[in-house]
Amino acid sequence: MSGTVAVRVPTILRTYTGGESDVAVPIGEGATLADVVAALEAAFPGIAGRVVDDTGQLRRFVNVYVDDDDVRFAAGLQTPTPDGTKVSVIPAVAGG
Amino acid sequence: MTVTLPVATQAPAPSTSGSRADLGPATHLSCRECGAATALGPFYACTECFGPLEVAYDFGAVSRERIEAGPPSIWRYRDLLPVPARVAGIPNTDPGWTRLVRADRLARELGIETLWIKDDSGNPTHSFKDRVVAVALAAARELGFTVLACPSTGNLANAVAAAAARAGIRSFVFVPRDLEQQKIVTTAVYGTALVAVEGTYDDVNRLASELAGEHEDWAFVNVNVRPYYAEGSKTLGYEVSEQLGWRLPRQVVIPVASGAQLVKVDKAFRELTELGLVEGEPPRVFGAQAAGCSPVSAAFKAGHDVVRPVRPSTIAKSLAIGNPADGPYVLDVARRTDGAVEDVTDNEIVEGIRLLARTEGIFAETAGGVTVAVLAKLVREGLLDPGAETVVFNTGDGLKTLDAVSTVVGPVGTIAPTTDAFDALVPEVSAR
Q: What percent of chain B has pLDDT over 90?
A: 88
| List of chain B residues whose C-beta atoms are within 8 Å of the C-beta of residue A94 | 44, 151, 205, 208-209, 220, 222-223, 226, 325
Using pLDDT thresholds of 50, 70 and 90, give the confidence band for residue A1: low
Q: Does residue A45 form part of some domain?
A: yes
The closest of B346, B345, B356 to B398, measured between CA atoms, is: B356
- Point out the residue among B257, B321, B325 whose CB comes nearest to the CB of A93: B325
Domain with CATH 3.40.50.1100 in chain B: 18-94+128-229, 100-126+233-406
State which amino acid sits at residue B87: V
Q: Does residue A82 form part of some domain?
A: yes
Taken in order B234, B235, B238, B243, the sign of the CA dihedral is negative
- Point out the residue among A11, A91, A96 whose CB comes nearest to the CB of B258: A96
Q: How far is residue A82's CA from residue A28's CA, in Å, rounded to a whole number?
A: 8
Give the other-Cβ count within 10 Å of A22's Cβ: 11
Burial B151-168 (b: 16+ CB within 10 A, else e): bbbbbbbbbbbbbbbbbe
| List of chain A residues whose C-beta atoms are within 8 Å of the C-beta of residue B308 | 72
Indicate yes or no: CB of A94 within 8 angstroms of CB of B53. no
pLDDT of A73: 84
Q: Does residue A56 form part of some domain?
A: yes
pLDDT of B71: 97
Burial B33-57 (b: 16+ CB within 10 A, else e): beeeebebbbbbbbbbbbbbbbbbb
Write phi, then psi, for B197 (nearest 5 degrees).
-110, 135
Using pLDDT thresholds of 50, 70 and 90, give the confidence band for residue B431: confident
Q: How far is residue A92's CA from residue B52's CA, in Å, rounded to a whole number?
A: 8
Question: Is residue B396 within 8 Å of residue B128, measured between CB atoms?
Answer: yes
Instruction: Give the minimum alpha-carbon distance from B214 to chain A in angstroms, rounded to a whole number.
Output: 9
3-state secondary structure of B252: strand
Write phi, then psi, for B43 (nearest 5 degrees).
-120, 145
Instruction: Give the minimum alpha-carbon distance from B119 to chain A in angstroms, rounded to a whole number.
Output: 19
Q: What sections of B247-326 are H helices per DSSP? A: 260-274, 295-302
Q: Does residue A96 form part of some domain?
A: no
List pLDDT tens digits, range B81-134.
999 999 999 999 999 999 999 999 999 999 999 999 999 999 999 999 999 999
List pLDDT tens digits, range A8-57.
999 999 999 999 999 999 999 999 999 999 999 999 999 999 999 999 99
pTM across the whole model: 0.92
For residue A47, what is the domain's CATH number?
3.10.20.30
pLDDT of B11: 30
Instruction: Give the minimum alpha-carbon distance from B318 to chain A in angstroms, rounded to a whole number.
Output: 9
| Burial class of B211 by CB neighbour count within 10 A (0 to 12, 13 to 18, 19+) | middle
**What's the CATH code, domain B18-94+128-229?**
3.40.50.1100
Q: What sections of B275-364 are H helices per DSSP? A: 295-302, 327-336, 346-360
pLDDT of B18: 43
Q: Does residue A69 form part of some domain?
A: yes
Indicate yes or no: CB of B201 within 8 angstroms of CB of A65. no
Q: Does residue A25 form part of some domain?
A: yes
pLDDT of B414: 97
Q: Does residue A79 form part of some domain?
A: yes
Instruction: Give the minimum alpha-carbon distance from A5 to chain B in angstroms, rounded to a whole number.
Output: 18
Can you list the positions of beta strands (E) in B141-268?
Answer: 147-151, 170-176, 193-197, 218-220, 251-255
Q: How far is residue B322's CA from residue B53's CA, in Å, rounded to a whole number?
A: 21
Burial B187-201 (b: 16+ CB within 10 A, else e): bbebbbbbbebeebb
Q: Specify the number of domains making up chain A.
A: 1
CATH architecture of residue range(s) B100-126+233-406: 3-Layer(aba) Sandwich (3.40)
List pLDDT tens digits, range B323-353.
898 999 999 999 999 999 999 999 999 999 9
Give the other-Cβ count within 10 Å of B111's Cβ: 11
Q: Which domain holds residue A26?
A: 3-91
- Contact of A6 with chain B, judged by CB distance below 8 Å, is answered with no
Average pLDDT over every residue of A73-80: 92
> Could you tell me the CA-to-CA distances from B312 to B172, B293, B345 in Å, in that order?
24, 5, 13
DSSP string over chain A: --EEEEEEPPGGGTTTTTT-SEEEEEE-TT-BHHHHHHHHHHHSTTSHHHHB-TTSSBPTTEEEEETTEETTTTTGGG-B--TT-EEEEEES----
Nearest 10 degrees: Cα torsion B256, B259, B263, B265: -50
> Could you tell me the CA-to-CA distances from B20 to B25, B62, B84, B429 in Å, in that order?
14, 24, 12, 70
**Which residues does residue B252 pair with via DSSP β-bridges, in sequence order?**
B285, B391
- Contact of A19 with chain B, judged by CB distance below 8 Å, is answered with no
Indicate yes or no: CB of A11 within 8 angstroms of CB of B208. no
Q: How many Cβ pairs within 8 Å bridge chains A and B?
A: 100
| List of chain A residues whose C-beta atoms are within 8 Å of the C-beta of residue B259 | 96
Nearest 10 degrees: Cα torsion B24, B29, B35, B38: -130
List pLDDT tens digits, range B274-292.
999 998 889 999 999 999 9
How many residues in chain B? 432
List pLDDT tens digits, range B202-245.
899 999 999 998 998 999 999 999 999 999 999 999 999 999 99
Q: How far is residue B375's CA from residue B261's CA, in Å, rounded to a whole number?
A: 17
